[in-house]
Amino acid sequence: MRGLLSLSRWIDRFTEIVGTITYWLVPIVVAVGVWNVANRYVGRAIGRTLGSNVFIEAQWYIFSVIFFLGGAYALKHGEHVRVDLFYSNWEPRRKALADLVGTLFYLMPFCLLLIYFSWPTVEQSWRIREVSPDPSGLPRYPLKTFLLISPALLFIQGISEAIKNYAVYTGYADPSLVAEEQKHIAPQ
């Protein structure tokens, strides 16, 4: 079990790195959005078009990457959507069992199905080097790759969550110690 918990810590560190990269994309997407709005209003005031599809699509692409990369990070920190009708009142072992079952029978199969059904779309996009049909449009094939990367990251983080929940459920790890480990891995 120690080896599995060590693997879980490694996965958690990796997810934190991806989350930190994603975090730094947020000010970039905000800056591009401000640029787009400023160009629109200044352009209207002077009677010229100052914006371009490149910046509009860049804003959309960066936002999409934030969404795609943020899923595993949200899962690691327990910020994903959960129907909390009964869960909040359960004891830690019961919560761990519910999370373990949800991870193994819902999250992981969903991720695998998403990869399976997205693969042909991504492969086709790369084969034809798909580009936006808009004038001055950006390439779409790199962005479509995140249809595979996102569920892969979620699946990997799901492995970590399954390990931690199994350790709590079996009594190998104290729930507070697992939560404390997550705090230490998080960037300061």
**DSSP structure string for 46-69:** HTS----HHHHHHHHHHHHHHHHH
CA distance 124 to 47: 41
Residue 62's pLDDT is what? Answer: 95
Integer Cα distance of 185 and 188 in angstroms: 9
Tokens of 2: 């120690």
CA dihedral 114, 160, 143, 31 (to 10 degrees): 140
Q: What is the mean pLDDT of residues 31-47?
A: 87
**Residue 126, C-beta contacts closer than 8 angstroms, at least 6 positions apart:** 141, 144, 145
Which residue is it, tokens 């730094």? Answer: 24
- Name the pLDDT band for 89 (thresholds 50, 70, 90): confident
Q: What is the mean pLDDT of the chain?
A: 88
CA distance 120 to 110: 17
Domains: count for the chain: 1
Strand partners, 131: 139
What pLDDT, on the 0 to 100 scale, is given for residue 179? 61
Q: What is the pLDDT of residue 181?
A: 54
Note down the domain range covering 151.
2-185
Radius of gyration of the chain (CA): 21
Q: How far apart are CA 116 and CA 15, in angstroms?
A: 22
